[in-house]
Structure 1
Amino acid sequence: MTVRLYDTKAQALRDFVPVDPANVTMYVCGPTVQSGPHIGHVRAALAFDLLRRWLTHRFGRVTFVRNVTDIDDKVLANATATEPWWALAYRMELEFSRAYAAIGILPPTYEPRATASVTQMQELIAELIDRGHAYASAGDVYFDVRSWPAYGELTHQSVDAMESAADADPRGKRDPRDFALWKGAKEGEPASATWTSPWGAGRPGWHIECSAMSRRYLGPEFDIHGGGLDLRFPHHENEIAQSTAAGDPFARYWVHNGLVTVDGQKMSKSLGNFILAADVLAERDPRVVRYALAGAHYRSSLDISDRAFDEAASALERIDTFRQRSLQAASGDQHTVEPGILPSAFIEAMDDDLGVPQALAALHQAVREGNTAIDAGDIAGAMESAAAVTAMLEVLGLNTTTTANADGGAGVALDALVREMIAQRSRARADKDWAAADRIRDAIAAAGITLEDTPAGTHWSIDA
């Protein structure tokens, strides 16, 4: 079977063929940390967490990079005399990390901050100047959009139809659509927010960050570039222009998630209609939040409502009730079922552009079949359904234990890490790599954590 993804650039479903089938590479635009995350940020991160989990299941390894934009006009604007921009950025970064961990989003392989890659950004800017695709003017450096005939290829626009780039002072622009690669220092900005450069003191533009960091951590060509639908233009359009103009093949597939809306209107900080992730997580079980945000296809808009969370809670209750029933039915019975078998309907749904709604339908079908088997006294059939349900929950990141094992956010983060190790152990066992499975279990045990394998899944607890 073949994984297919909708490629925004091609505007079509494409068979997914990675550069290296043994190591899928993904770069996802992370947050600009001028303030805390709203639920739209969490939905976006979850979409790519689900894609990462599925590609890990299908290919074995995924190198996943998600950046943090910790220097930006908005970060500087929200700083205060008592909290400088860098302190604000770090505090907000931690809020994003807590929200992600709360609903089981796995930590990235690498999570670079923009401020740690300024040297690489300057090197890329210098290459673009040397190639004739960028120019310095009045302390700034701009990308010359007229110099690159392919500009607009991602969103299929002509340059003349585009709006002026509003990301920098137009004082030195040749064309109003030229966008900033380097922003010269301005009066009133803190000295700590500037770096020396061949073009004068300043800081990088927003768009150059991701081009430089993806090249640094994944190389000049990688498999998937992801982000929200609202980033297609100008951010991703500018990324693909500056990277390809510098000679990099860049991303092979462009994947964008749909936006979260409130009463049909895009949720955004600028509109003031956002719902903070912390508020939602204070009122709802994190597992319910994850289910609700995953319930709509990743490319579709998701209108947030109490009803969506209530329906998610009811769905999870049906799943958990079946799993408990299966455990009770199996007590005293010698019948065992090897866990980890995914139903074909689930696999087909996930392979088809990450069809999580259809995958959830397959999950609930297995629950219904399992309940029917229990009612009929068919313990073997019930255990087979329970094993399938557990395998599907593992892939979807919904097979979590209670966070009572540890306190607060640390408990949530610990649970996410342990669940990932359990998933790796399950994959090793499915591949009959017993040595790897034993190593993972020994590593977990060495940390003082006990695993309990049951017909309905693996549960963990901390040794007393």
Structure 2
Amino acid sequence: MLKIYNTLTRQKEAFKPITPGVVNMYVCGPTVYNYIHIGNARSVVAFDTVRRYLEFKGYQVNYVSNFTDVDDKMIKAANEQGITVPELADKYIQAFMEDTKALNVEDATMHPRATENIAEIIQVVQTLIEKGYAYEADGDVYYRARKFKRYGALSGQSLNDLEVGASEHVSQDEVDKKEDPLDFALWKAAKPGEINWESPWGPGRPGWHIECSVMSTKYLANTIDIHAGGQDLTFPHHENEIAQIEPVTGQPFVHYWMHNGFVTIGKENEKMSKSLHNFITVHDLLKTVDGQVLRFFMATTQYRRPIQYSDEQLQDAASNLKHLQNTFTNLSYRQEDAEAGSDPAVSDQATKFKAQFVTAMDDDINVQNGITVVYDLAKYANLYAQAKTVKQEAIDTLKNLLIQLTTVFGVKLQTEKINDTEIEVLIEQRNQARKAKNFALSDKIRDDLKAQGIILEDTPQGTRYRKE
């Protein structure tokens, strides 16, 4: 049975969706004022992998991930670039879609934008005011955090600790407006020249936290199965989401809270972030690194663990991915001379590999143990491909299982086909040279082909080649 670590309860819990066979999942998306960096992409890849495993297990996943397309950072960036906030949003939403496509991220069921849901946001804020959970102050609307009795439960912090932290990050202007340093903004009055919408409290725009509370319940349900995002969103963003929406719906907001670990960089293992100016954008990295390699690098670390980014780690990911691709190529090559029929031993072993994979992944999506099973499958498949006689159904079984398991990690294995008559001629010349014991010529042909990126492999079934 699948178990998921629930941030709210701080333990692994058996996963039971509200509706059998269906999972409603909301993942906090980016604020679209710049290209996403690897830390942002880690969250996208981690929960795309979770989604893929849920689909592997047969669930229908309704996957909603938002775009925050208006906030202080976006207003600042739009002014700096001399464009409007909507133009800035369109620019970086398009970039996000292109970058995540290169990482083979499945399309979300829906990508709502905050600015598409202003009316619903205003209605929720109005309801919170009517119920005494919020108050207006000079065009701003603030939430009374202490009124929500379970405030701090998700992040595991006391109100006193939260008050100290809040006091350190509140401007004097906010101090003058707020009843309590813990209170946070639901609606912000517009400054002169800023993008704004009309509201009962005057022209303004929504606060960041209220957006996700409204969009998750609007597009999924009042109570959803999974809400996910980066570890740094636990407080205040997700804590505030709970406090905002539960008084409105009168129902528990989320059954399972999932948070991914950071991407760290450098000798000091600093968290990668735009605020620390130590980030690498996916947009730039894809110019030199294959998207499948970057995806594999991130997808093969369990989502709650931190990832140490380095060129060496990327090289290891490229090597491991290449090994899996070569295994698939080896199996495809043997299909050409495979005999009709099945091999019960292969079928039995494939069933065992699949069961081992499920056992590994059912433990809070433990991809590190899961990919180890895939490597074991690859080793077994390569040995079978070297046998003097192979069966067609056995080859198909191994190929299909390899595809099925690697798809969970977002990997697309393909048969390499090199239709080059000149290469075939050179291979034949090399074969003749070897028969004549002219090893100098044989080695030269092999080395010349290698210099062109063509690797020769001598097998009991003959010499074959592949691209390096």
TM-score in terms of structure 1 length: 0.82
**Which residue of structure 1 lines up, in the alignment, with residue 232 of structure 2?**
230
Counterpart contact for 2:262–2:305, Cα < 8 Å: yes
Identity, in percent, stands at 38
Match of 1:379, SS state, is coil
Match of 2:374, SS state, is helix
Q: Which amino acid aligns with 1:98?
A: E
**Which residue of structure 2 lines up, in the alignment, with residue 253 of structure 1?**
256
* Rounded Cα–Cα distance in structure 2 between residues aligned with 1:21 and 1:346: 23
* Rounded Cα–Cα distance in structure 1 between residues aligned with 2:119 and 2:149: 28
Counterpart contact for 2:103–2:292, Cα < 8 Å: yes
**Which residue of structure 2 lines up, in the alignment, with residue 58 of structure 1?**
57
* Rounded Cα–Cα distance in structure 2 between residues aligned with 1:41 and 1:335: 49
Match of 1:282, SS state, is coil
Query: How much does 1:282 deviate?
Result: 0.9
**Which residue of structure 2 lines up, in the alignment, with residue 329 of structure 1?**
334
Sort the Cα spacing of 1:378 and 1:355 in 2 relative to 1 into closer, same or farther, 3 A.
farther
Query: How much does 1:57 deviate?
Result: 2.0
> Deviation above 4 Å: which 4+ runs of structure 1?
165-169, 336-342, 400-404
**Residues 101-112 of structure 1: pairs in structure 2 closer than 5 A:** 101-112=101-112
Give per-residue Cα distances to partners, 1:314-351, cap 9 Å, x unaligned.
11111111111111222132436799966111111111
Give per-residue Cα distances to partners, 1:281-307, cap 9 Å, x unaligned.
111111111111112111011010111
**Which residue of structure 2 lines up, in the alignment, with residue 204 of structure 1?**
206
Match of 2:287, SS state, is helix
Sort the Cα spacing of 1:212 and 1:366 in 2 relative to 1 into closer, same or farther, 3 A.
same
Give per-residue Cα distances to partners, 1:19-70, cap 9 Å, x unaligned.
1123210000000011111111111100110111111122331000000000
Q: Does 1:398 align with 2:411?
A: yes
Q: Which amino acid aligns with 2:74?
A: V
Query: How much does 1:4 deviate?
Result: 0.7
Counterpart contact for 1:67–1:210, Cα < 8 Å: yes
* Rounded Cα–Cα distance in structure 1 between residues aligned with 2:150 and 2:157: 10
* Rounded Cα–Cα distance in structure 2 between residues aligned with 1:273 and 1:58: 38
* Rounded Cα–Cα distance in structure 1 between residues aligned with 2:290 and 2:296: 10
Counterpart contact for 1:141–1:180, Cα < 8 Å: yes
Q: Which amino acid aligns with 2:106?
A: L
* Rounded Cα–Cα distance in structure 2 between residues aligned with 1:181 and 1:82: 28
**Residues 43-442 of structure 1: pairs in structure 2 closer than 5 A:** 43-80=42-79, 82-162=82-162, 163-164=165-166, 166=169, 169-170=173-174, 171-187=176-192, 189-190=193-194, 193-246=195-248, 247-263=250-266, 264-335=269-340, 343-377=354-388, 379-380=390-391, 382-401=395-414
Counterpart contact for 2:360–2:369, Cα < 8 Å: yes
More deviation, 83-92/263-272: 83-92
Q: Which has the larger radius of gyration?
A: 2
Match of 2:152, SS state, is coil
Q: Which amino acid aligns with 2:317?
A: A
Q: Which amino acid aligns with 2:157?
A: Q
Q: Which amino acid aligns with 2:240?
A: N
Query: How much does 1:313 deviate?
Result: 1.1
Structure 2 residue runs of 5 or longer lacking an equivalent are 418-468
Structure 1 residue runs of 5 or longer lacking an equivalent are 405-464
Sort the Cα spacing of 1:303 and 1:336 in 2 relative to 1 into closer, same or farther, 3 A.
farther
More deviation, 239-248/130-139: 239-248
Query: How much does 1:248 deviate?
Result: 3.4
Q: Which amino acid aligns with 1:111?
A: H
Q: Does 1:4 align with 2:3?
A: yes
**Which residue of structure 2 lines up, in the alignment, with residue 462 of structure 1?**
none
Match of 1:368, SS state, is helix
RMSD: 2.1
Counterpart contact for 1:367–1:386, Cα < 8 Å: no
Query: How much does 1:387 deviate?
Result: 2.7
